Amino acid sequence: MYSIGDLAREAGIKVQTVRYYEQIGILPEGERTSGNQRRYDEAARRRLNFIRHARELGFPLDAIRELLALADQPDTPCDRADAIARRQLDAVDRRIARLVSLRAELSRMIDDCSAGPIAECRIIETLGDHSLCLTDHSAGANGESAPL
């Protein structure tokens, strides 16, 4: 049995993250001891490692919830897991394409900078007027601003 601190340490995450995962229902809450401390079994440790690894691969929490539901039904076909992983791969490919575009634009801005007075700085000018950019990198795939 693991305390919440031991469980968090084993998974390489913070105690607050364990509590959050419990709160949103992707990790069952640990059993309480008579002293009201949470205790977790090996299955909870494996589940938390699954969640952490999925997060490292960029899976959103909703996809992790779906994958965990599938993992809890070992006799179901894996085509749904495959579809979820393919969606994540597509999202990663879109992010990579966006990053390549951003890199090109930043390189162009830097190359165009004459290192003269700030009043003539191409970087400042381009940041102030998006129409000077070669590509539209202002929105993500869903049309919303897409911070990195």
φ, ψ at 65 (rounded to 5°): -60, -45
Which residue has tokens 């993250």?
Answer: 17
CATH 1.10.1660.10 applies to domain 2-59? yes
Provide mean pLDDT across the span 131-143. Answer: 66
Domain segments of the chain: what residues?
Answer: 2-59, 79-132
Report the alpha-carbon distance of residue 81 to residue 100 in Å, rounded: 29
pLDDT tens, position by position, 44-102: 999 999 999 999 999 999 999 999 999 999 999 999 999 999 999 999 999 999 999 99
- Secondary structure of the chain as H, E, C letters: CEEHHHHHHHHCCCHHHHHHHHHCCCCCCCEECCCCCEEECHHHHHHHHHHHHHHHCCCCHHHHHHHHHHHCCCCCCCHHHHHHHHHHHHHHHHHHHHHHHHHHHHHHHHHHCCCCCHHHCHHHHHHHCHHHCCCCCCCCCCCCCCCC
pLDDT tens, position by position, 31-46: 998 888 889 999 999 9
**In this predicted structure, what is the pLDDT of residue 139?**
57
**In this predicted structure, what is the pLDDT of residue 41?**
95
**Lowest-pLDDT range, 16-20, 88-92, 104-108?**
104-108
**Lowest-pLDDT range, 16-20, 54-58, 90-94, 125-129?**
125-129
